[in-house]
Chains A and B, each alone.
Chain A
Amino acid sequence: MLLRVAIFSAWCIACAAQDFTKDVKPIFEKRCFGCHGPTQQMSGLRLDSADVAQRAASKVLDRVTSTQKGFFMPPMGPRLSDSEIAKIQQWVTASAGPVTAARSTHWAFQPVVKPPRPLVSQREWVRTPIDRFVLARLEKEKIAPSPEADRYTLIRRLSLDLTGLPPTPKEIAEFVADKRPDAYERVVDRLLISPHYGEKWARAWLDLAHYADSDGYEKDNSRPWAWRYRNWVIEALNRDEPFDQFTIEQLAGDLLEKPSVEQRVATGFLRNTLTNREAGVDRIEARFEQIVNRTNTVATTWLGLTVGCAQCHNHKFDPISQQEYYKMFAFFDHAEEEDIDAPLPGEQAPPPEYQAKRDQILEQYWVRELMGPWERRLREAHNNPGLNLEWDFQATEFRAAVDHALHLLSDDPAKRSRREWDRMIGWFVGHIGPDYAKDKRTAGQMREAREKLDALFAALPPYTQAPAMRDDPTIPPTNLRLGGDYKTLGEAVSPGTLAVLPPLEAGANASRLDFARWLVSRDHPLTARVAVNRIWQEFFGRGLVRTSEDFGTQGEKPTHPELLDWLASEFVENGWSMKKIEKMIVMSAAYRQSSNSRPDLEASDPENALIARQARLRLPAELIRDQALVASGLLNSVIGGRGIRPPQPKGVAELSYANSVKWRESTGADRYRRGLYIHYQRTAPYPQLANFDEPDSNVACARRRRSNTPLQALNLLNDPVFYETAQALAKRIEAEGGDNPLAYAYRLTVGRDPSPSERARIEQFRSKGGTWVGVARVLLNLDELITRE
């Protein structure tokens, strides 16, 4: 597990081997081959060839430099001399990959320089500066752009791209008939201020945050307040919160001066990390894994870099050293999880009577008195394991299941907050320990107390909580972890970033807030490029850098580097307004092109990298659900709030570990809410979302895949949820379709009129006994319905 040094770079093996044969191998030959050579390989270790030895390099170094008895090598004879160790050290460094250079020639690390708008000859085609960049490239290749799509396609494309919802028949009719020169722009402006805009764009952001409504791992407990962060994202996007502020609040809202509740809720971005509550888990290891995940998520989201490799060793290809990795890691190492009160408008905090009644129950059942000895036993078992197996198990379970368990077990109880007391009492009344459990009367009393406390709490009106982060200055300085192993501490590191990127002004004392501000500093070469590239990807199906998650040397180069830089500069100059850059894109002629395939380009540009047309894009999972709900008229368009659980077949939730996930079907209008709000249970995701490529939400996802499988076909054809929409659509067609029900049905679903041959085919079907429900099923299964053209 420690030996994660990758072996892909032939270059580095070659250069390391040079040192190896000349300098290192003789040392190994003299001192190690007896046990780890050609004849014998104790512990599977063999040190006589460079590439094999290289894999164990850092471990070998740990051994020969250690003074720990039983651990250091060689176990007999004198220790290796300093000069011998130095030679091995040099070789380890060399084999660990290219040494970080403070300067890199890689394009993405160079400053963004706003390029001049290129000159083009077909000036009449140009609508926005974007078009000049696209057209200049096309003209260079002697390719004509595609004609503009028809108005039906345009309004559906705009509506889906900006709000995720299709246009209504009325909106279509108005736009098609609107002869004003700014008819298109009016649609754009209307959609950009739609409250559904935030819902559409939140989903892509939540993919990066890898949002879910449960902990993950085997227990996979529900996270009852995760949605509070989702609310924040929707609202921030709707008010067009500038991306720099959007960034700062999510990474360090708690560190702003007098942070508002909303600013603290924003730090919920960092709370989408999985929590392993499997009882045998080491809390320190679990915390380490969470911080690794936070570091990697932030790097993918803002830097467009895959830094995870450097958790264990210097990055093979990108200039990211292991030390730099832990410098970034240090920012998140000094933060702790914290749940906060985050009431929605109109919610009241629990009244004083609640606390009084609660105290009364605690007194009546002697809960605090009984808890004292229990806690002493628990602490005893925690501090001196092995004395009593039953209490050992109590302590293990407590540590795994209770948030901040280590603090609760070691900090002075006198300094506990109310929230901490509540957590402790809450656990105690449900887990009274083996001593009290033997006494039936006490056990019964505690059960009663628990039931009364639960009932009291359940009767309270809702008071929304939110997962958030806070700084914890008591956490010791961060150490590098050798081989990425949380137990193997290397040198201490101060917070910092990558040497190839602009320096942090705050230096070694930088806080998480400084880090967030640094990300959105004007001269940062990555953040704006990475962000506008993802926006572009939403509108064209692929980014200008196709690998939107990887701007490093292994990622693809931009197809239009000048356009990318121009957009990045515009973005920053426009005060990081996402809506402004989005409007600029959708106003362009490039965006308005037809998405029909171009037989003339299938050979030269099969993936449409040159943007000589628009793209036909299968919709994301959630929007597929939304299309059926809108067409059928069933959609409940309420925005925000807690998740919903639509009907799903029996046996799906039951697949979770030990059947621990309860899928309580939503009732009433909740059943018909948008796909965005479907409860995301990590170990047993809702089948329709999983079938249509919703990411697994364990790590940041910068671009979804678009697969095409028979399970999707069965899902749309036969899922009772979709069949219900077909039935509702059929009723709607008959009730509202007037004398041309089929035309109405087409407007409701694919937003256009049927062609004569389409009409003829459906009429033939109808004449042979086909029902309107049958027609509705066909329309809701059309490739076109689940595709943005």
Chain B
Amino acid sequence: MNIHDYLRIQSRRNFFRTCAGGIETIALANLLAGDGRAADSTASATNPLAPKAPHFAPKAKNVIFLFMEGAPSQMDLFDPKPALQKYHGQSLPPSMTKDLRLAFIKPSAAVLASPRIFKPHGQSGIEFSDFIPNIASCADDICLVRGMVTDAFNHHPGQLLLFTGSQQFGRPTLGAWVLYGLGSESQNLPGFVVLSSGVGTSGGASNFAPGFLPSAYGGVMFRGGPEPILYLSNPEGVTAQQQRAELDVLRDLNQERLKKTGDVEIASRIASYELGFRMQSAAPDLIDFSKESAATLDMYGVNQEPTRPFATNCLLARRMVERGVRFVMLMHASWDQHTYLNRELKKNCAITDQPTAALIRDLKQRGLLDSTLVVWGGEFGRTPMVENRVTSDPENAGRDHHPFGYSIFMAGGGIKGGTVVGKTDDLGFNVVEDKVHVHDLQATILNRLGFDHTKLSYRYMGRDFRLTDVEGNVVQKMLA
């Protein structure tokens, strides 16, 4: 064993030492197995993104998180509340609204019945609203959670809680934890990719930041257009051959410095440049849809409005999962319908419903749904009561933020399709059965990926941190 081999192992040991419990054991086992292989190059040995085994056999390998920013209205989409008709225009009983604090409206605001028509779908007969017929057609693959609760009722804190398990800044996000735990299976794409349909979110980069984890675990924002990764294209006038020739010189000069100084960080730098170069060719291939069938493109709605941007991202998500990208996060903003609920909700559904269903169906027909966890949801829900900023205009009616009971859904990846978990009261105000806190959702996602959420931890500032903070229970009813 030469010095470089030693250093290599040492740096990996140090790396794994910071992980707690199970990961360390497994990682060390991998390490020892891997070190016996002659082919184990310096590049992969110093790569924090090398694939790693979780705590136990996983059901899912990849996650596609469809983040519906701004809080979609659950009682207009997923959670039918006919009783609202009875109270429409009246205040809720004071017993329900005592000590209630909402972002904008007062507890005495009048109830707003949903004009949506709900019908049962599939074998399972889960009821969905007429705004989302395509998602509804996947009912038997969907586990609909109607019992979601969270602690925050403003957007940025709510999003932080959803993605980092804490309303405080600086913690790693869900995608970063997953990448930290599992590494990446892609040799030439980032392991955690973020796609936006164009409108920013309240949380911005803090929803996919690595927090105090090493920055390699942070989400890489893909962009629309021909350059999906920042600075992916060569500068204007630099040909591929020139780029390669210059990179060859760069590699040789860096290698000479490596020999002179003995600093293995230079080996990592060389590997980073080579991976960057591979991304330059892999990413254009990723976004090239020319080999997708017309039927596929139509199913997603890639070539039509208003689905185009979101459909493109959904199809990209499938193509990334095929290429080993571990965690794909799609952001659609905004579902924050304080006003003009009917109009705006319809618009959002017209954009997202068809591509979402196409994604589930496409993954299924390609045999990828079993190993891909699809999550659809926002940071909280909306009130059964009306918010009306322009009282003279009835169409202006919307709903306020509501953390006490809302809906999200999941599909694939070891999740039990055709099920409903949790139940809200007749007015959709509180959860009365099977409450699922955001921390429980996080615990369940990690469970499907093969992690005990209490053991996937990272030591920082003297404390072992984890995604679920000090809470979280796996929701057994959601598991297949």
Contact = CB atoms under 8 A, between A and B. Distances in A.
Interface of A: 1, 3-8, 44, 55, 70, 217-218, 220, 274, 276, 278-282, 306, 308-309, 316-317, 385-386, 389-390, 392-393, 396, 434, 547, 549-550, 552-555, 595-599, 602-603, 606-607, 616, 618, 649, 651-652, 654-660, 682-685, 687, 690, 693, 696, 698-699, 705, 707-715, 717-720, 723, 755, 757-758, 761-762, 765, 768, 770, 774-775, 777-778, 781-784, 787, 789
Nearest to B209: A696
A696 B227 CA distance: 25
A565 B275 CA distance: 45
A489 to B, nearest CB: 15
Contacts of A660: 200
A768 B276 contact: no
B205 A711 contact: no
Given A708-B269, A709-B216, A755-B256, 7 more contacts: A317-B462, A687-B230, A699-B170, A713-B269, A713-B273, A723-B238, A789-B261
Nearest to A437: B390
A607 B387 CA distance: 59
21 contacts: A4-B469, A4-B470, A44-B435, A218-B202, A278-B202, A281-B103, A393-B104, A555-B462, A597-B3, A616-B261, A649-B223, A651-B223, A655-B200, A693-B215, A708-B272, A713-B272, A717-B243, A757-B256, A774-B246, A782-B250, A783-B254
Given A389-B388, A550-B462, A655-B200, A597 B435 contact: no
Contacts of B249: 761-762, 765, 770, 774-775, 778
Q: Across chains A and B, which 9 residue pairs bring their CB atoms closest together, nearest first?
A: A554-B462, A280-B103, A597-B262, A683-B204, A218-B202, A713-B276, A698-B169, A1-B151, A723-B235
Contacts, number: 260
A699 B235 contact: no
B204 A684 contact: yes
A655 B224 contact: no
Nearest to B150: A1
A719 B462 contact: no
Given A715-B230, A770-B246, A710 B256 contact: no
Given A658-B200, A711-B230, A718-B231, A550 B98 contact: no
A4 B167 CA distance: 12
Contact of B276 (A8, A547, A711): A711
Contacts of B233: 718
Given A393-B104, A655-B196, A552 B462 contact: yes
A393 B398 CA distance: 13
Interface in B266-288: 266, 268-270, 272-273, 275-277, 279-280
Contact of B155 (A218, A698, A775, A789): A218
A655 B401 contact: no
A217 B462 contact: no
Contacts of A390: 389-391
A396 B106 contact: no
Nearest to A789: B261
Interface string B158-177: 00000000011110000000
Contacts of B261: 595-597, 616, 789
A712 B272 contact: yes
Q: How big is chain B's contact interface, by range?
A: 35 or more
B37 interface: no
Contact of B10 (A547, A606, A651, A712): A606
B464 interface: yes
Task: Point out which of B235, B389, B469 has the most chain A C-beta atoms below 10 A from its C-beta.
Answer: B235
Given A696-B170, A715-B231, A781 B151 contact: no
Nearest to B280: A714
Given A687-B230, A711-B276, A782 B253 contact: yes
Contact of A708 (B101, B169, B201, B268): B268
B214 interface: yes
Contacts of B266: 783
B148 to A, nearest CB: 14
Contacts of A684: 200, 204-205
B298 interface: no
B461 A659 contact: no
B134 interface: no
Contacts of A595: 261, 263
Nearest to A770: B245
A609 B322 CA distance: 44
B265 interface: yes
Nearest to B258: A783
Contact of A685 (B190, B205, B280): B205
A774 B215 contact: no
Contacts of A705: 214-215
A43 to B, nearest CB: 9
A316 B275 CA distance: 43
Interface centre among B234, B238, B246, B435, by most chain A C-beta atoms within 10 angstroms, is B246
Contacts of B463: 6, 8, 306, 309, 316, 554
A549 B461 contact: yes
Contacts of B420: none
Contact of B265 (A599, A710, A768, A783): A783
Interface in B51-102: 98, 101-102
B312 to A, nearest CB: 15
B98 A70 contact: yes
Given A690-B205, A774-B242, A719 B231 contact: yes
A757 B260 CA distance: 12
Contacts of A279: 103-104
B245 A774 contact: yes
Contact of A656 (B154, B200, B462, B470): B200
B256 A783 contact: no
B137 interface: no
Contacts of A434: 390
A765 B461 contact: no
B44 interface: no
A553 B167 CA distance: 26
A46 B113 CA distance: 36
Contacts of A718: 231-235
Contacts of A787: 265
B276 A714 contact: yes
B471 interface: yes
Contact of A655 (B153, B221, B232): B221
Given A55-B470, A781-B273, A783-B266, A696 B154 contact: no
A755 B261 CA distance: 14
Contact of A717 (B199, B264, B276, B464): B276
A218 B234 CA distance: 34
A269 B196 CA distance: 35
A761 B252 contact: yes
Contacts of A602: 3, 6-7, 10
Contact of B253 (A652, A658, A778): A778
A6 B101 CA distance: 27
B245 A765 contact: yes
B51 to A, nearest CB: 17
B334 interface: yes
Nearest to A597: B262
Contacts of B415: none
A309 B260 CA distance: 46
A570 to B, nearest CB: 28
A656 B250 CA distance: 36
B170 to A, nearest CB: 5
A755 B11 CA distance: 30
Given A217-B156, A718-B231, A778-B250, A547 B106 contact: no
Given A657-B204, A658-B199, A784 B462 contact: no
Contact of B257 (A7, A549, A651, A783): A783
A411 B252 CA distance: 71
B128 to A, nearest CB: 28
B106 A386 contact: yes
Contacts of B10: 602, 606
Contacts of B206: 683, 696, 698
